[in-house]
Amino acid sequence: MTKKRDDISDKAISVIASQIANIKIKENELTVRAEVMENLTESIAALRNLPLKDVEPAIIFRPILSEKRAENE
Amino acid sequence: MSSLTDLSISQLVLGYQAKDFSPIEVTKAYFDRIEKYNENLNAFVYIDREGGLASAKLAEDKYNKGDFKPLLGVPLAHKDLYCTKGLPSTAGSKVLENNIPDVDATSVERLSQSGAINLGKLNTHEFAYGPTNENSLFGSCLNPWNYKCFSGGSSGGSGSAVAARLCAGATGSDTGGSIRIPSACCGISGLKPTYGRVSRAGIYPLCWTMDHSGPMARSVEDLALMLKAMSGVDKFDSASSSLEVGNYAETLRADISGIVLGIPNRYFFDQAQPDIENSVREAIEVLKSLGATVIDIDIEHIEHAAGAALAIYLSEGTAYHDNGFENNQDLYSDQVRGFLELGNFVLAKDYINAQRFRTLLGEEMARLFEQVDYFITPGLALTAQQVGQENINIRGIEQSVFSAILRNTEPFNLTGVPALVVPCGFSSEGLPHSMQIIGRPFDEAGILNIGHIFQSVTSWHIKLPSEVNE
């Protein structure tokens, strides 16, 4: 069973934003962002409990033909 | 004769052919109304008087020569998310404040080729990233039924302008409900076609796998005429479908007796404002009186639609805007910048799970469509609210206006099936209610048929909004 994760903190938002996305979030906005993200994350994480074992994602890879070849086929 | 701006698209075309009035007279009548009401509504963000009148003159010459086209001389306008050649196309954002494209979006081009006149560009929530149209470079777009309320969004200018008779019809785009939400809030008809039916090319993306383009108009018959002109395969949109385009206006009047309607009570009805539920149930009774059969259904897993939609548009939206965001972030409004920042925190596995959920939900809807022909739901769970209102309590549940307003529409962006909203009543405060009709993939003809038959025995769709009724 997965360990219950900690709530998303101001610091986590700040570190991930700057180190992964290379953006700086203003200090006075961090708490609001963290609260919103915590709520959103909960609803998104709930998808992990669905019966998705044999279900493929809706996006399917399609090989791309050159435009000229596609017109000929 | 009613005012020229009250006439439907089909009435305009018949009147032009009979020479009862001319495209120039009608176009001028629309510009007069824009001048009178737009300052309060903020629906048009760019008015192309010169181009509109030039197109009207060309249309008039063509009628005189007997050179007819399906929408010849019909005054429309386009959501500012659509690229329009030589005209400002800002997506409602400071980021594109000075953007003037050198090509038209495919839908704009196709409507022009069908003879439509472009009156200008319509307000949108910034980059379509919000369902209220309160947040735009040009300020909030307001509702012609009550200036204190938002128009709904993101295609708010389209909903407000069509309802207020500032144009005969308009284009919209719909990622989580952005055609149907402003249509429902403003009391007009709006169609989100099947994913792939109408090209997305030339429309600034919000979320590639959920973006849809479609028409907004006062009547379903007008939607059918616009849809025919806008639809078809497009080599500039990799998702566009090569399936044959229907003759939607010709199948509107088919008898609906014998059709089976599925009513998903859980989720859609039981968390809507009670008077909205009443209006939609009365509308269902009207359809029953016309011969439809009604059965209760339940869409399994529907309660996860909001989480899946969030994971997808946060991820795709942030990916689209990532290039240059670092240098441009101060140009975005706080709300959109916040969403774009949050998109960095969605895990790849959650994005993939959300895309898997779409398959699961699509299979569930396909299973139900073996038992019923259409689903009927309230268009929205709530009416338009006052500008600036962040939360709402519906049946004892406190929630954000954003999430409540997306609730009934976004499941059908996830599965890509066609969905139509039509007005079906009013609240005690005089704000519109709407019914949503959902069909199988590419059955636009079927849902338009039901909507048109409903409008042929009701009059909700022809009422003039109170704030623009002088």
Reply yes or no on whether the pLDDT at B208 is more than 90: yes
Mean of the pLDDT values across residues B450-460?
A: 98
pLDDT given for residue A68 in this prediction: 66
Give the DSSP letter of residue B417: -
Q: From CA B311, how far away is CA B167, in angstroms rounded? A: 36
**Does the annotation count B403 as an active-site position?**
no
> Which of B323, B335, B344 to mutate to test binding with chain A, by most A CBs within 10 Å of its CB?
B344
pLDDT given for residue B76 in this prediction: 98
Q: From CA B330, how far away is CA B340, in angstroms rounded? A: 12
Which residues fall within 8 angstroms of residue B247, CB to CB, at 6 or more apart? B228
Reply yes or no on whether the pLDDT at B153 is more than 90: yes
Which residues fall within 8 angstroms of residue B279, CB to CB, at 6 or more apart? B378, B424, B425, B426, B433, B435
Better pLDDT: A4 or B102: B102
Q: Is A37 on the interface with B (CB under 8 A)?
A: yes
| Crossing angle of helices B334-342 and A30-45, rounded to 10° | 50
Interchain proximity B357–A33, CB inside 8 Å = no
Q: From CA B449, how far away is CA B430, in angstroms rounded? A: 27
Judging contacts by C-beta atoms under 8 Å, the chain B residues touching residue A21 are: 322, 341, 344
E strand intervals along B89-194: 117-122, 142-143, 146-150, 169-174, 189-192
Mean of the pLDDT values across residues B138-143?
A: 97
Q: Which residues pair with B433 in a beta bridge?
A: B425
Residue type, B465: P
**Lookup: tokens for B464:** 């003039």
Q: Burial level of B94, CB count in 10 A (0-12/13-18/19+)?
A: middle
Reply yes or no on whether the pLDDT at B444 is more than 70: yes
pLDDT tens, residue by residue, B79-90? 999 999 999 999
pLDDT given for residue B136 in this prediction: 94
Pairing of strands B293-297, B260-264: parallel
CATH for the stretch B4-306+347-468: 3.90.1300.10
Q: Which of A29-33, B31-35, B179-183, B314-318 has the least mean pLDDT?
A: A29-33
What whole-number percentage of chain A has pLDDT above 70? 81
**Does the annotation count B400 as an active-site position?**
no
Region of residue B375 (left: phi > 0; alpha: psi -120 to 50; beta: else) = beta
Instruction: Answer yes or no: are the C-beta atoms of B284 and B377 closer than 8 Å.
Output: no
Exactly one of B8, B22, B79, B140 is catalytic; name it. B79
Region of residue B92 (left: phi > 0; alpha: psi -120 to 50; beta: else) = left
The structure's pTM equals 0.94
pLDDT tens, residue by residue, B344-359? 889 999 999 999 999 9
Which residues fall within 8 angstroms of residue B268, CB to CB, at 6 or more apart? B377, B378, B381, B407, B408
Q: From CA B216, how far away is CA B223, in angstroms rounded? A: 6
Which residues fall within 8 angstroms of residue B281, CB to CB, at 6 or more apart? B269
What are the boundaries of each domain within chain A? Answer: 10-72
Q: From CA B448, how far away is CA B250, in angstroms rounded? A: 11
- List the one residue out of B385, B469, B450, B400 whose CA is nearest residue B185: B385
The whole-chain average pLDDT of chain B stands at 96
- List the one residue out of B55, B208, B225, B332 whose CA is nearest residue A59: B208
Q: From CA B137, how far away is CA B81, in angstroms rounded? A: 12
- List the one residue out of B344, B435, B414 whose CA is nearest residue B175: B414
Q: How confident is the model at residue A35 (pLDDT cuts 50, 70, 90)?
A: confident
What's the gap in Å between the CA of B126 and the closest CA on chain A? 19
Judging contacts by C-beta atoms under 8 Å, the chain B residues touching residue A52 are: 353, 356-357, 360
**Lookup: tokens for B266:** 């859980």
E strand intervals along B62-112: 75-79
**Lookup: tokens for B356:** 């898997």
Q: From CA B311, how far away is CA B118, in angstroms rounded? A: 36
pLDDT given for residue B1 in this prediction: 44
Which residues fall within 8 angstroms of residue B3, CB to CB, at 6 or more apart? B29, B165
**Does the annotation count B69 as an active-site position?**
no
Q: Is A7 on the interface with B (CB under 8 A)?
A: no
What's the gap in Å between the CA of B178 and the closest CA on chain A? 20
What is the Cβ-side half-sphere exposure of residue B99, based on CA atoms within 13 angstroms? 19
pLDDT tens, residue by residue, B282-340? 999 999 999 999 999 999 999 999 999 999 999 999 999 987 777 888 999 989 998 99
Q: How confident is the model at residue A15 (pLDDT cuts 50, 70, 90)?
A: confident
Instruction: Answer yes or no: are the C-beta atoms of B45 and B255 closer than 8 Å.
Output: no
Q: Is A54 on the interface with B (CB under 8 A)?
A: no
Q: How far is CA B153 from CA A46, B88, B126, B282, B322, in A?
A: 27, 20, 10, 26, 23
Q: How confident is the model at residue A1 (pLDDT cuts 50, 70, 90)?
A: very low
Q: For chain B, percent helix, then strand, then coil, each to nearest 5?
A: 45, 15, 40
Tally Cβ neighbours within 10 Å of residue B396.
6
Q: Is A47 on the interface with B (CB under 8 A)?
A: yes
pLDDT tens, residue by residue, B377-411? 999 999 999 999 999 999 999 999 999 999 999 99
Q: Burial level of B102, CB count in 10 A (0-12/13-18/19+)?
A: exposed
Instruction: Answer yes or no: are the C-beta atoms of B385 and B150 closer than 8 Å.
Output: yes
Q: From CA A21, how far away is CA A33, in angstroms rounded? A: 15
Is B404 strand, coil or helix? helix
Tally Cβ neighbours within 10 Å of residue B2.
8
Q: From CA B47, how far away is CA B37, in angstroms rounded? A: 13
**Lookup: tokens for B12:** 């305009």
What's the gap in Å between the CA of A13 and the closest CA on chain B? 8
| ipTM value for the complex | 0.75
Judging contacts by C-beta atoms under 8 Å, the chain A residues touching residue B314 are: 40
